[in-house]
């Protein structure tokens, strides 16, 4: 039996050895043959038109929307910029030149922008961004030919809408220091020039025809100012600070911003006092005090957020002085009471309450239910809670990343109807 087994094993080995001769193929040969067969049919990958269009859109949109990344220059050293001139100015674009690219902390920008509503402006900013100290020098000129005005006070009727033109020049400087991780403080000084003229919107009556000097302080003469200000803020929100954050308080910036859309928790407190001292003859000196508090209360680890904001802008004059109407606090629009148009209400003083409940429904989309209450008034005695304009509505916030809201749409409802607003860019 053993001899038989040995014989069989020998035969097995011998036959296995000659099996290729008998036509037995290996696995590797089979796979190699399949590849040889494909070699004869090789063709370049086809890219459909849809894919090409999608790829093109991705590349071009990155130039516009990816504001985190230095954009390729249009011309050497010159970049294309969008928006940033004025809310309500229409579609805006311009060019920015940054000639001090070789320096680290120091920078200089020169830019010009223009809009489809014939707004235009030019600005230069030279500054130092340190880890702790910041300093800016700024100069800006803006031509704003179609500013809207409805009258002063909470009862200004909508059908009194008129327009005016404002050319504004400002030059000055700001210094600030990061006191600690959460506290920032500083001051600024500026020279401010304002020139009022007839608005260029032919569909609206001119402000001079609609309102008289008795109704509108500052309309009868141009006023130049020396502006001195000081500010401080405490910020514990979970939004990342960036260099240049202090420029938020520069007079070139719009102070009354919207609620932070990216914050999920924390507190923001800011106080700023500015003294407007008229240069030359006239009685237009005043002091502006702005107070703001924002609180963000996270629910479900921040997937739901209750955001609250209180804001007050109060002016103080003495000795028969007045505040020019175009420098008065104003309410209306996407950052204040969202059921009214931009600049719908103006007055010497303004208070504002915002409450917003937002929740993430998708990685790229938050929804928000909001309610706003705003009130402008001439004297403190005239402030009544019942006089506040109340709006409410629904908002959509679009995220460019998990940490960042890139744009928003708000549909607000007020006693004057619905207003739809869209905004792009970063929000503090």
Interface with other proteins includes 180 (CB under 8 A)? no
Give dist(CA 280, CA 143) in Å, integer: 23
136: helix, coil or strand?
A: strand
Q: DSSP secondary-structure letter at 294?
A: E
Give dist(CA 182, CA 235) in Å, integer: 5
Task: Give the range of 134-142, 157-165, 214-222, 395-403 binding other proteins by CB under 8 A.
Answer: 395-403
User: Which residues does 322 contact at the CB level (< 8 Å), separation at least 6?
Assistant: 217, 218, 283, 284, 286
Rounded to the nearest 10°, the torsion over CA 71, 74, 76, 81 is -60
- The token duo for 225 is 């100012």
According to CB under 8 A, which one of 60, 303, 415, 418 is a site residue for other proteins? 303
Measure Cα distances from 7 to 15, 297, 305 in Å.
12, 87, 84
Minimum distance of other proteins from residue 393's CB (angstroms): 15
Q: How many CB atoms lie within 10 A of CB 21?
A: 7
Q: Please, what is the Cα angle at 24 between 19 and 25, to 5 degrees?
A: 130
Tell me whether residue 361 or residue 422 sits nearer to other proteins (CB atom).
361
According to CB under 8 A, which one of 157, 159, 202, 301 is a site residue for other proteins? 301
Tell me whether residue 361 or residue 420 sits nearer to other proteins (CB atom).
361
Task: Give the range of 10-18, 178-186, 253-261, 266-274 binding other proteins by CB under 8 A.
Answer: 10-18
Tell me whether residue 142 or residue 237 sits nearer to other proteins (CB atom).
237
Task: Give the range of 9-17, 148-156, 333-341, 384-392 binding other proteins by CB under 8 A.
Answer: 9-17
Tell me whether residue 32 or residue 195 sits nearer to other proteins (CB atom).
32
301: helix, coil or strand?
A: helix
Using CB under 8 A as the binding criterion, the count of chain residues that bind other proteins stands at 75
Tell me whether residue 198 or residue 306 sits nearer to other proteins (CB atom).
306
Interface with other proteins includes 30 (CB under 8 A)? yes
Give dist(CA 304, CA 411) in Å, integer: 20
According to CB under 8 A, which one of 403, 415, 418, 425 is a site residue for other proteins? 403
Q: Please, what is the Cα angle at 311 between 160 and 399, to 5 degrees?
A: 95
Interface with other proteins includes 42 (CB under 8 A)? yes
User: What kind and span of H or E run contains 316?
Assistant: strand 304-316
Residues in 123-162 at the binding interface with other proteins, rule: CB under 8 A: none
Q: Please, what is the Cα angle at 158 between 385 and 162, to 5 degrees?
A: 125
According to CB under 8 A, which one of 38, 155, 180, 386 is a site residue for other proteins? 38
Give dist(CA 35, CA 280) in Å, integer: 89
Residues in 226-265 at the binding interface with other proteins, rule: CB under 8 A: 240, 243
Burial class (CB in 10 A: 0-12, 13-18, 19+), 159: exposed
Task: Give the range of 22-30, 115-123, 159-167, 324-332 binding other proteins by CB under 8 A.
Answer: 22-30
According to CB under 8 A, which one of 359, 392, 398, 424 is a site residue for other proteins? 359
- The token duo for 363 is 């990685």
According to CB under 8 A, which one of 75, 281, 363, 385 is a site residue for other proteins? 363
Interface with other proteins includes 394 (CB under 8 A)? no
Minimum distance of other proteins from residue 411's CB (angstroms): 15
Q: Please, what is the Cα angle at 169 between 189 and 288, to 5 degrees?
A: 45
Task: Give the range of 144-152, 218-226, 320-328, 359-367 binding other proteins by CB under 8 A.
Answer: 359-367
Residues in 107-126 at the binding interface with other proteins, rule: CB under 8 A: 107
Give dist(CA 196, CA 210) in Å, integer: 15
Task: Give the range of 33-41, 172-180, 274-282, 384-392 binding other proteins by CB under 8 A.
Answer: 33-41
Residues in 74-103 at the binding interface with other proteins, rule: CB under 8 A: 98, 100-103
Tell me whether residue 279 or residue 299 sits nearer to other proteins (CB atom).
299
Measuring CA to CA, which residue among 92, 98, 102 is closest to residue 111? 98
Interface with other proteins includes 50 (CB under 8 A)? yes
Task: Give the range of 27-35, 159-167, 326-334, 342-350 binding other proteins by CB under 8 A.
Answer: 27-35
Measuring CA to CA, which residue among 351, 352, 346, 361 is closest to residue 394? 361
According to CB under 8 A, which one of 115, 190, 247, 360 is a site residue for other proteins? 360
Interface with other proteins includes 202 (CB under 8 A)? no
Interface with other proteins includes 304 (CB under 8 A)? yes
Instruction: Yes or no: say if 96 and 72 are a contact pair by the CB < 8 Å rule.
Output: no
Give the N- to C-terminal CA distance of the chain in Å, as an integer. 92
């Amino acid at each position: 039996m053993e001899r038989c087994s040995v014989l069989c094993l020998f035969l097995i080995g011998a036959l296995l050895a000659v099996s290729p001769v008998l036509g037995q193929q290996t696995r590797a040969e089979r796979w190699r043959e399949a590849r040889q067969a494909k070699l004869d049919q090789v063709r370049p990958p086809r890219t459909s038109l849809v894919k090409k269009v999608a790829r093109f859109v991705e590349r071009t949109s990155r130039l516009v929307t990816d504001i985190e990344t230095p954009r390729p220059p249009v011309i050497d050293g010159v970049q294309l910029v969008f928006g940033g001139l004025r809310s309500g100015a229409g579609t805006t674009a311009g060019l920015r030149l940054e000639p001090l690219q070789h320096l680290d902390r120091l920078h200089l920008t020169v830019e010009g922008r223009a809009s489809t509503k014939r707004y235009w402006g030019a600005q230069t900013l030279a500054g130092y961004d340190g880890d702790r100290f910041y300093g800016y020098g700024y100069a800006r000129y803006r031509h704003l030919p179609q500013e809207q005005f409805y009258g002063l006070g909470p009862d200004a009727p909508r059908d009194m809408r008129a327009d005016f033109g404002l050319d504004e020049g400002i030059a000055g400087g700001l210094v600030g220091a990061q006191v600690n991780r959460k506290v920032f403080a500083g001051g600024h000084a500026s020279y401010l020039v304002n020139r009022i003229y007839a608005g260029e919107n032919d569909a609206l009556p001119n402000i001079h025809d609609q309102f008289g000097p008795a109704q509108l302080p500052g309309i009868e003469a141009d006023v130049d100012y020396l502006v001195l200000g000081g500010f401080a803020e405490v910020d514990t929100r979970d939004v990342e600070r960036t260099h240049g954050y202090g420029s938020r308080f520069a007079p070139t910036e719009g102070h009354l911003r919207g609620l932070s859309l990216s914050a999920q928790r924390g507190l923001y407190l800011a106080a700023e006092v500015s003294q407007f001292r008229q240069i030359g003859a006239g009685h237009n000196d005043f002091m502006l005090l702005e107070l703001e508090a924002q609180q963000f209360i996270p629910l479900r680890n921040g997937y739901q957020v209750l955001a609250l904001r209180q804001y007050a802008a109060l002016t103080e004059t003495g000795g028969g002085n007045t505040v020019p109407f175009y420098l008065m606090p104003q309410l209306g629009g996407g950052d204040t009471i969202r059921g009214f148009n931009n600049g719908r209400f103006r007055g010497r003083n303004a208070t504002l309450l915002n409450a917003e409940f937002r929740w993430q429904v998708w990685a790229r989309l938050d929804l928000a239910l909001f309610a706003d209450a705003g009130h402008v008034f001439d004297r403190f005695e005239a402030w009544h809670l019942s006089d506040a304009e109340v709006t409410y509505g629904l908002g959509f916030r679009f995220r460019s990343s998990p940490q960042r809201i890139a744009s928003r749409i708000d549909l607000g409802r007020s006693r004057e109807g619905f207003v739809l607003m869209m905004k792009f860019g970063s929000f503090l």
